[in-house]
A and B are shown apart, each in its own frame.
Chain A
């Protein structure tokens, strides 16, 4: 094996190196760890983000009736279950040959944008603001949401109430704040009553105002720490996202757009029901998470970035006035430097949160929400693909259903899975910038976590490499030192990686 010192994925001689683990990675959804291999001079030779749990929904959904999928698969996640609920429903719309009624599509859109609002608020305020407001290597005892509530009570309050509002939108449309049942194959099972609409309208103005302020916080952080925010974990990547037919940002529906790291369009408005012609998935022996890549570029260089940073920078415009104004500021800032920065995710995410609040307001004024034409069923199909832009990025659900209504095949390419290689690139870049050759401290290691958190990964959603499960067993001595290790690779062979 050659020493891939430059890409830091695999060290040539791991047996001679010291292993440092960040386990678990905190303030992210799901369970993951980062391992670093360092030599006696603290030079970094290998950095990997590992996902240490296995979910397997793709397997145990097989045999279940298709109408169960939108409710079952959303149990993948407790933070953005609506994303899976709706993506599966869109796939089932194809199965039942449905053209959604206006009421059904708008109720689903309302549910989805409520989800975007609550998830983005949760991520920015609860999970990341401690790093951003206190500093990456600040006192670890205060670097949490409780510390934020003590030092910045107004910001903490706004974060909590923004999330609560998004959860209320979900409750009204799905029946429950978490794991509702509102979206069904071919439509929805309820509309939004006048009382429910008025209840949500009451506070939407305040939510838009707070979302605007949140964009301001993200921008100020960039302005005040320009060098750090521009360079931290920076790397160039291809991008993938949905766009509306007119090129606008649309998080519910659209065609696929991919651009290379120089901004050249690889494909645009691509019909996602044939996504496998442009996207493929690679498997690596050291991770439960698959590594998707653009077919035209191949597995080595075809990895890409999804999520708010890709969406906001690659759409032609945002179809809501306040968010569009902020997008233009973001794109023009410092010659466009924020659009390629890993920490630019936060700024883009807050622009999307503002957009979500504006969309919610617009939808709430739409009388179609009170319509009673909820479901439309057409000619039955055997295959269904549903794609949406979830809070963390492009989410693909793909099912095959037999003549007995049972699911026979399921493939999920989850937002975080798309970002797998990009996250690894980010932490390797941070390792080069901040870890390599230095004595490790908790603050320095937190820099790695800060880079991961920027992607807002949902690690539990993303682990489905069934049948190719790598496994590593470590033998430790009484002091916790590694005595021996045995690993099973994805091809079923065993080796002792040292």
Chain B
């Protein structure tokens, strides 16, 4: 019999070495997240997965599961903090969902809907982030970057190419391309790279795909992101290298 901890009153089994997030998803319990991905080492930067454990807050993607933990996630206090975090992410970048081709497949947008983020909450910073369209097949729209570093990790750990990195500190932190010119055309990135598949928002896009998937057929058109917890549960890469969580994220 597996060890268990309590999550919002439900008993969640876990294996030694699993984090609270990993055990929760495997058991079909959704905890909101953006920078977490099952194929990569937990990062703990977006803080969307923050839960309350014994009166203290912790990122569930980095917190080891332990017997007897009493984890509170889907409570107004935590969801209120998540709402604020999502508002800050929207305010920090230039997220124009109405004309974004990732609309309907975007985790940030889906979280916004799911957490009922109805207002901007903060003054928009409108950062100046030019688009990198230099690559013949791939577009980089830095306007939408949320600094989750999934592309950095994927390119480094899976693709072995180190195409991306973060530069700067604090509010000036931003995604860069590891090339002398700073342009994507001067890297060896390819459409088949893992880095192309992991962006939760609309930064790394294959060119000329655009709005080819009709409204109603996009990933989050049918069911909210929270209701797709079971789809996300087996977030383990299969033999072909794909994972359920990446479906619908062209």
Known: A63-B130, A405-B133. A68 touches B215 (CB 8 A): no
Contact A175 B215 (CB under 8 A): yes
Q: Residue B9 at the A interface, CB < 8 A?
A: no
A interface, over-half SS:
loop
Given contacts A63-B130, A405-B207, contact A68 B99 (CB under 8 A): yes
Closest Cβ neighbor of B130 among chain A residues: A63
Chain A: minimal CB distance from B28 (Å)? 31
Shortest C-beta distance, B142 to chain A (Å), equals: 12
B224 contacts across to A, CB distance below 8 A: none
Q: A65-B207, A68-B99 are contacts. A181–B134 as well, Cβ < 8 Å? A: no
Query: Quick check: B131 and A181 within 8 Å, CB to CB?
Result: no
Query: Interface code A67-88, partner B: CB below 8 Å = 1, 0 otherwise?
Result: 1101110010000000000000
Query: Across the interface, do B131 and A63 meet the contact criterion of CB distance under 8 Å?
Result: yes
* Residue B101 interfacial (CB < 8 Å): yes
- Closest B residue, CB atoms, query A61: B99
Is A180 in the interface zone, CB < 8 Å from B?
Answer: yes
Residues of chain B within 8 A of A180, CB atoms compared: 215
Q: Is B68 an interface residue (CB 8 A)?
A: no
User: At the interface, yes or no: A182 with Cβ under 8 Å from chain B?
Assistant: yes
| Residue ID in chain A nearest B207 by CB atoms | A405
Question: Which B residues lie within 8 Å of A175 (CB)?
Answer: 214-216
Complex contact A405–B211 (CB within 8 A) = no
Which of A190, A404, A406 gathers the greatest number of chain B CB atoms within 10 Å?
A: A404
Number of interface residues of B (CB under 8 A): 19
Q: Taking A63-B130, A405-B133, A406-B133 as contacts, is the C-beta distance between A189 and B208 under 8 angstroms?
A: no
In the bound complex, residues from chain B placing their C-beta under 8 Å from that of A75 are 98-99
Q: How many chain-A residues does the 8 Å CB contact rule pick out?
A: 25
B134 cross-chain contacts in A, Cβ below 8 A: 404
Q: Report the minimal beta-carbon distance from A72 to chain B, rounded to whole angstroms.
A: 4
Instruction: State the CA gap A64–B96 with chains docked (Å).
Output: 12
Asked if A189 and B139 sit within 8 Å, CB to CB, the answer is no
A406 close to B215 (CB less than 8 A): no
Residue interface bits B130-151, CB-to-A below 8 A is 1, else 0: 1101100001000000000000
Residue in B closest to A184 when the chains form the complex, CB atoms: B211
B16: chain A residues within 8 A (beta carbon): none
Chain B residues near A63: list those with CB within 8 A: 130-131
Given contacts A75-B99, A179-B98, A404-B134, contact A67 B210 (CB under 8 A): yes
Partner of B139, one of A65, A71, A190, A375: A65
With A65-B139, A175-B216, A179-B98: A71-B133 Cβ-Cβ less than 8 Å: no
* B213 in contact (CB, < 8 A): yes
Contacting B at CB under 8 A, from A37-75, are: 63-65, 67-68, 70-72, 75
Is B212 part of the contact surface with A, judged by Cβ < 8 Å? Answer: yes
User: A71 near B99 (CB under 8 angstroms)?
Assistant: yes
Those 4 A-B pairs whose CB atoms lie nearest each other, nearest first:
A175-B215, A67-B210, A72-B99, A404-B133
The interface of chain A, by Cβ under 8 A from chain B, is 63-65, 67-68, 70-72, 75, 96, 174-176, 179-182, 184-185, 189-190, 375, 404-406
A sample of 30 cross-chain residue pairs with beta-carbon separation below 8 angstroms, ordered by A number, consists of A64-B131, A65-B133, A67-B101, A67-B209, A67-B210, A67-B211, A68-B99, A68-B101, A71-B99, A71-B101, A72-B99, A75-B98, A75-B99, A96-B208, A174-B215, A175-B214, A175-B215, A176-B215, A181-B215, A182-B214, A182-B215, A184-B211, A184-B212, A185-B210, A189-B213, A189-B214, A190-B217, A375-B212, A405-B139, A405-B208
